[in-house]
Structure 1
Amino acid sequence: MSATAPRRSTLKPLHWSKVTRVLQGSLWEELQRFGEPQMAPEFDVSEIETLFSATVPKSDGSDGKSRSRRKSTGSKPDRVHLIDLRRANNTEIMLTKVKMPLPDMMAAALAMDESVLDADQVENLIKFCPTKEEMELLKGYTGDKEHLGKCEQFFLELMKVPRVESKLRVFLFKIQFSSQITDFKKSLNTVNSSCEEVRKSLKLKEIMKRILSLGNTLNQGTARGSALGFKLDSLLKLTDTRASNSKMTLMHYLCKVLASKRPELLDFHKDLVSLEAASKIQLKSLAEEMQAIIKGLEKVNQELGASENDGPVSDSFRKTLKEFIVISEAEVGSVTNLYSIAGRNADALALYFGEDPARCPFEQVTATLLNFVRLFQKAHEENCKQAEIEKKKAQKEAEMEKEKAKAGMNTIKKGGSMFP
């Protein structure tokens, strides 16, 4: 390209991050392919020049809210016999909440009976499984076991089951598996839905096109001009550029023009119904969740293999576990595939806006889009309120003029003819 066209006037710039080379399949490549005009027909250049002249320094306002949350923790110490005083006391407190004989509790745990023991109770049992040192201490006890405290007797009951802690962890995984998979699928489906909604929104695409046009008009003749697109975070900079003699920002102006010329685009947020939920999802957390599910199932299979040599004590455990593994392996296979699809869609969403997924990940894309939606809606609402104020003011002025005219006519009638 040769020299750029001279600017008609000195305008305030839009400090966007300019895109000079478009990625194939991106929004910007699509706009170029269909030969979209650089200047959208809705914008009046002379009006832009009047509103956004750079003669008056711009003023910026920002406000932020921060919230902090605190957690308080506490512990309750007390006493008992062979085992450490605090540990024994806490174990006894836990046992009072279970409210069933120890043999019955262990039978329910080995049968993995969810109708008898819930996740919280199993978690407590895991927390209070005896350590190797505690087991050795109890094995070395030669006195009457009836004289031992509740904690010691509980530990002895657990010690009757080979690898009791491993079995309890498998039981907990089984209890939580269904809800864990359901919640995980819900998050993955939210990611997939939000990606599809953004990329299919024709209204969003039309607004992006007009922002590109508006920015190129303001930046004409500068290094920021003649952009083929812009980086996603540039959307949030529309509120930074203010009109010369009013509180209007470029975002207000965009909303004002769209309300006048293309009102059907104002509700583009309705296309993005999954965006807010998606903005709360971290891909790193999803990856950790996927790994936890896979590793959990691996441990289930390992414990099944190990329990083959346990003898009759683990018969009901093995039977229940084999049935669970058949169902869970199919579920994990399905959710692994869904996870892969979500990952590809998340990367594709960044690429759609011409961004590098490594530098602008899914979390950043959704957060930026959601912020833009909120800033856009706020500006539109403020425009509507201002228009209503001006309308009422005009009506009041019209009524006053009408009253003045009426008063003038009454004066003429009372005074009679001005000529003899």
Structure 2
Amino acid sequence: MPLLNWQALKPTQVSGTVFNELDDEHILGELNMDIFEEQFKTKAQGNPKDLSTKPKKASQKAPAKTTLIDPNKSKNLAITLRKGGMSPDKICTAIETYDQGSLSVDFLELLEPFIPSDFEMKLLKNYEKDGRPLEELAAEDQFVLRFGKIPRLNQRINTLTFMGNFPDTVKRLQPQLDSLISASMSIKSSDKLKKILEIVLAFGNYMNSSKRGAAYGFRLQSLDLLLETKSTDRSQTLLHFIGNVIQEKYPDLVNFHSDLHFVDKAALVSLDGILQDIRSLERGMEMTKKEFLVQDDSPVLKEFIKTNSTTLETLIKDSKTAQEAYSSVVEYFGENPKTTQPSMFFPFFGRFIKGYKAVQKDIERKKKMEELNEEKEQSPIKSPGQKGPAMPKMPQMDLIAELKKRQKPPVREGKDGALEDIITDLRNSPFRPSVVFANVI
């Protein structure tokens, strides 16, 4: 039978939805699926199975187990436990011993919603106190009873989740802090960039001098206007003109952008998000240390704290450096660090650099075209198939006369074979334009 390629909901997504209230097995029990099997079976498939045997098998099952927890919760827990691939007892032991190797972060997050409530634990403990056999409880109820007896269960799971996420979180945050620090410091310390902005300010004041007073500075968003402002004939932008000026008058500024580092990467950083994540790491480390005070015999907790405390301290220190460097550079360029995020500030420079590089390519391309045109104008025009230097034009009659003169050299009288000597001489001495031109001149 072909597969139905639908998008199935995850077990964690079913809770609270209409699917929690549905019983598909009940529907299958009410319907005769023979016709469906016959019409939808694949060619290689044999006769449909007799689904009527299914209810009979169900009737042969052992008596239903006792369930004290919510049926929907029990159903979802069964799915989650199957995903864990471990026995319930091994799962609980791994939590008690902080065994990160056995418990993935994803599985721990799936387990967290099944931490039993006080009411559920009371029901299960009363069942146990009454002396009733635990074997009669459903497997999910037995797990919840064992699960709920783990000391400080909620704290242990939170600690394990934090420990599992810590390396990846640091690996994600550190490069962002590095790029933010590097971009901020390189932009502020670049004398070449400062000179470029000085040139832009000069042109802007010159253009506005007749209608506006001189400006002492400009907002960074004004850099975008350099590509939008065009010359009278619309053949070039203001940035093209400034680019030419830089090449001719300030060649040391041509590659000013090489002083600026990680501008594009810094533009992707959310400083507020980083600081929030670091505060979360601080709370997690504090929670882990408190857990170790209670469970001081745990080598796992001891080693984690010893290894990662320094890492967290370095991250916190770098976050403060990033804050200071960013605030400093934003204020340095006349912007407000409280209202200007990196995603807004650094793209000003990113777009300017991108536009400037494109302009530089246009200028170089134009120069090459001009050089080629000059070479064409200066070099003589060659006739098709002509090799060597081009022959300057001569008056047609003069050229014919010269050729005739060349073909009729004076006959040497008094010697035998004079005609043969002339023919031989003509054959051995091909026509040389330089000689002709020299004679003509």
The question of a shared fold, defined as TM-score above 0.5 by the shorter chain, is answered with yes
Give the one of 313, 320, 323 matched to 1:343: 323
Q: In structure 1, list runs of 5 or more residues that go unmatched.
A: 1-71, 309-313
8 Å Cα contact 2:159/2:288 also seen in 1: yes
Q: Over the residues paired in the alignment, what is the CA RMSD in angstroms?
A: 3.4
Give the superposition deviation at 1:215: 1.4
Give the superposition deviation at 1:328: 4.2
Amino acid at match of 2:178: N
SS at match of 2:115: coil
Aligned to 1:278: 266
| Cα distance change, pair 75–228 in 1 and its aligned pair in 2 (3 A) | same
Aligned to 1:160: 149
Give the one of 242, 249, 267 matched to 2:230: 242
| Cα distance change, pair 94–258 in 1 and its aligned pair in 2 (3 A) | same
Q: Please identify the structure whose Cα radius of gyration is greater.
A: 2
Aligned to 1:114: 100
Alpha-carbon displacement from aligned partner over 1:265-286 (angstroms, at most 9, x marks no partner)? 2322222222111111111112
Alpha-carbon distance in 1 for matches of 2:229, 2:8: 48
Give the one of 164, 179, 195 matched to 1:175: 164
Give the one of 59, 79, 95 matched to 2:81: 95
The answer to whether structure 1 residue 209 and structure 2 residue 198 are counterparts is yes
8 Å Cα contact 2:268/2:342 also seen in 1: no
Give the superposition deviation at 1:330: 4.0
Aligned to 2:134: 145
Aligned to 1:193: 182
SS at match of 2:209: coil
Greater mean alpha carbon deviation, residues 129-138 or residues 231-240: 129-138
Give the one of 361, 369, 393 matched to 1:409: 393
Higher relative contact order (CA 8 A, sep 6+): 1
Identical columns (%)? 25
Greater mean alpha carbon deviation, residues 383-392 or residues 206-215: 383-392
Q: In structure 2, list runs of 5 or more residues that go unmatched.
A: 1-6, 15-19, 24-64, 402-441
Give the superposition deviation at 1:82: 4.5
- If the length of structure 2 is used for normalisation, what is the TM-score? 0.66
Give the one of 284, 289, 311 matched to 1:296: 284
Amino acid at match of 1:258: I
Alpha-carbon distance in 1 for matches of 2:114, 2:260: 48
Amino acid at match of 1:332: L
Alpha-carbon distance in 2 for matches of 1:292, 1:270: 36
The answer to whether structure 1 residue 357 and structure 2 residue 343 are counterparts is no
Greater mean alpha carbon deviation, residues 119-128 or residues 191-200: 119-128
Aligned to 1:53: none
Give the superposition deviation at 1:245: 0.4
Alpha-carbon distance in 1 for matches of 2:144, 2:398: 110
The answer to whether structure 1 residue 220 and structure 2 residue 204 are counterparts is no
Give the superposition deviation at 1:401: 5.6
SS at match of 1:273: coil
8 Å Cα contact 2:296/2:302 also seen in 1: no
Aligned to 2:38: none
Amino acid at match of 1:259: Q
Alpha-carbon distance in 2 for matches of 1:126, 1:413: 108
Alpha-carbon distance in 2 for matches of 1:403, 1:217: 53
SS at match of 2:393: helix
- If the length of structure 1 is used for normalisation, what is the TM-score? 0.69
8 Å Cα contact 1:173/1:296 also seen in 2: yes
8 Å Cα contact 2:78/2:140 also seen in 1: yes
The answer to whether structure 1 residue 373 and structure 2 residue 353 are counterparts is yes
